[in-house]
Amino acid sequence: MTRPASIHKQWLELSATAQHALRLTVLAVLVAVGWLIVYFTGGTAYAYPYLMLIPVILAAAWYQLAGALVSACAVSLLLAFMPLDVATSELQTPANWLVRLGLYLVLGGVAGVMFQRLHSAKRHSLHASYIDSRSGLPNYLALEEDLSKGLEGNSGQALGLMVVRITDIVDLLETLGADASDELVSAIGQRLGRVVNGRARIYRFNGPELMVLLNSADHEVLAKVAQDVLSAGEENLVIQQMPMRAQLILGYTLSTPGTQNARQLIHEARVAMFEASNQQRSCSAYVPAYRKRTMQAIWLISRVRHGLENNQFELHFQPKISLADNSVCGCEGLIRWRQEDGQLIYPGHFMPKVEKTTLITPVTRFVTEQALTMAAHVPGGVSINVSARNLLDNDFIEMLRALISQEAVPASRLEVEITESALMADIKDGSRSIRAIRDLGVGVSIDDFGTGFSSFQYLRHLPLSGLKLDRVFVMDLESDVHARKLLGCMIDMGHALGLVVTAEGVETRGQHDILVQLGCDQAQGFLYSPALPIGDYERWCDDFMHSDRSALSLAVESGRTL
């Protein structure tokens, strides 16, 4: 059975000519039926001639005033030749059918005018719903409709769709308010209009995003338009008497015969734009691999969420050795994800994605809780890794404060490791957070030192407690005299700043000896132990303390698979 919705859809899809033909047939049938009823019920003297008003009103609904007047005349004319009384064949007087004609014209005319008003109000509101009232540009509904029409039209030419995002609009919104940001969007919209110069239509898709639709495009055309758009963005603008320059970032895509609908094309353009943003580029063209990557990332994030709810995460601990006396002086907590089949997944496979989402908050909470539970029982305390996002999140500091008092652990037993690049991403707010963390009594070390670009000027003024030298500087210590000199300088610099210096990734006895000679304070690496689950780590600490540490003879567990 055909459902009403699909009947409606089929009706909408009928061509305009077919619709008219169908309507005219319905009207003709109604007129004929009406005429027959009037005739067989006795003639025009009886009540039934008013049945003929039905097709008149219907014609008014479909064809407004013109339809009403034409149909009123037509049905009056038809009835004019019918006898007053069919049985006696008594004919109507002209006054008789003229009055009826007048009545039909008046009633039909009034209905026609009313329907006309209704239609124009509907058209007006339909038009308004396709316009973004704040910028005056066509909105996403208009875009979806134009795209659908373009994709249906079988011209064989590809549609080009470009999304242009104004990246700094949030700052403007915060400083000057919503009116200023709308003014900026309108100004950019006008500028884009000049750039595309009639070749494309501009839409406001949402707050900071504009869309450019080119009806026939290829990659070359799109790349050229993209360049023009970006250079247009670089010109100065004046918004509410303030000169400014908008930061634009854009992504674009081309329709293919396989493009299913408008939404797919919009999605592709936005995926390309986000890819440009991820790669810190201003422009990117869509390639199908992007979609696959996004899908994988979404899938991964949903699995991490599920893993958190099902306690699949573990914190493992890797010891830090004090090089002065070969004792265990602390450990670093490193997250692991245990799969249902028991296999461990290492953070390199999921943390980069997690760090880009709000999921980092519960993940870091889990890590902090685990670390604090351990901090009182293991030698020297525990260090945890925190992301740039954590660092800039005020709630993170509050969470630290709450968990420390909840676990009743001295704050000095906890240390936070922040990578150099995370700190440099926003040095101003990052420095403020570091001060707040230090005020809690928690240590702060710069992780992977030497791989980012930190300014010594900043480091000098930050209340840091330690510096962790990245393992790339340790790797070549035995074979390269320059590597040794460089590491020596870095250790001296750390000491000059009053920091405890830890070398990461120590794998050989030779590297260990050189680090001792260079005066490094602490070392961490597979030479001593990989990161271990809590029970194993406690046993390892016991064994290590009771071993002949002067010879560092402990076997290195090498069963680790990264």
Encoding tokens for residue 202?
């501009």
Total number of residues binding ligand C2E (CB under 6 A)? 22
Per CB under 5 A, does 415 bind Ca ion?
no
With CB under 6 A as the contact rule, the residue among 69, 226, 246, 335 that binds ligand C2E is 335
The verdict on 505 binding ligand C2E (CB under 6 A) reads: yes
- Nearest approach in angstroms of CB 471 to ligand C2E is 6
State which of residues 135, 253, 364, 385 lies at the interface with Ca ion (CB under 5 A).
Answer: 385
Give the end-to-end CA distance of the chain in Å, rounded to a whole number: 59
Measure CA 473 to chain center: 38
According to the binding rule CB under 5 A, does residue 420 interact with Ca ion? no
Strands, E assignment, 147-220: 160-166, 200-206, 209-214
Output 130 or 526, the one with its CB closest to ligand C2E. Answer: 526
Q: Which is nearer to ligand C2E, 189 or 525 (CB)?
A: 525
* Closest to Ca ion by CB, 272 or 416: 416
Choices 57-65, 73-81, 166-174, 524-532 (CB under 6 A): range interacting with ligand C2E? 524-532
The separation between CA 491 and the C-alpha centre of its own chain, rounded to angstroms, equals 43
Min CB(473)–Ca ion separation in Å: 11
Contacted entry of ligand C2E, Ca ion, none for residue 196, CB cut-off 5 to 8 Å set by kind: none
Residue identified by tokens 């219907």 is 58
| Near ligand C2E by CB under 6 A: residue from 94, 243, 348, 535 | 348
Chain positions 176 to 235 lying near ligand C2E, rule: CB under 6 A, are none
Binding mask 361-380 for ligand C2E (x = CB under 6 A): ------x-------------
CB 316 within 8 A of CB 529: no
Could you tell me which of 122, 117, 124, 125 has the C-alpha nearest to residue 65?
Answer: 117
Shortest-Cβ-distance residue relative to ligand C2E = 525
Give the footprint of ligand C2E on residues 6-35 (CB under 6 A).
none
Candidates 526, 533, 534, 547; binder of ligand C2E (CB under 6 A) is 526
Determine the Cα–Cα distance for residues 457 and 438; give it in Å rounded to an integer: 19
User: x/- string (CB under 6 A) for ligand C2E, residues 462-491?
Assistant: ---------x--------------------
Letters for 504-533 (x = contact with Ca ion by CB under 5 A, - = none) are: x-----------------------------
Residues 6+ apart with CB under 8 A from 168: 246, 247
Report if residue 351 touches ligand C2E, rule: CB under 6 A.
yes
Among 531, 532, 537, 540, binds ligand C2E (CB under 6 A): 531
Residue 211 CB, nearest approach to ligand C2E (Å): 36
Minimum gap (Å) between residue 496 Cβ and Ca ion: 21
User: What x-and-dash track marks residues 395-434 binding ligand C2E by CB under 6 A?
Assistant: ----------------------x-----------------
The DSSP string of 502-520 is EE----SHHHHHHHHHHT-
- Residue whose entry in the numeric block shows the structure tokens 């005018």: 113
Question: Between 219-234 and 178-196, two packed helices, what is the crossing angle to 10 degrees?
Answer: 130
The residues near 182 (Cβ < 8 Å, ≥ 6 apart) are: 134, 135
Q: How far apart are CA 171 and CA 546, in angstroms?
A: 59
- Among the listed residues 321, 415, 336, the one whose alpha carbon sits nearest the alpha carbon of residue 371: 415
The least distance separating Ca ion from the CB of residue 180, rounded to whole angstroms, comes to 42
In the region spanning residues 14 to 53, those forming contacts with Ca ion, defined by CB under 5 A, are none
CA geometry: angle 312, 293, 306, nearest 5 deg = 20
Q: Which residues of 236-264 are buried (b: 16+ CB within 10 A; e: fewer)?
A: eeebeeeebebebbbbbbbbeeebeebeb
* Pairwise CA distance, residues 362 & 355, whole Å: 11
Judged by CB under 6 A, does residue 533 bind ligand C2E?
Answer: no
| DSSP assignments along 308-344, one per residue | HHTT-EEEEEEEEEETTTTEEEEEEEEEEEE-TTS-E
Smallest distance, ligand C2E to C-beta of residue 339, A:
16
Contacting positions for ligand C2E (CB under 6 A): 318, 334-335, 346-348, 351, 367, 385-387, 417, 447-448, 471, 505-507, 524-526, 531
Q: Which residues bind Ca ion (CB under 5 A)?
A: 385, 417, 447-448, 504
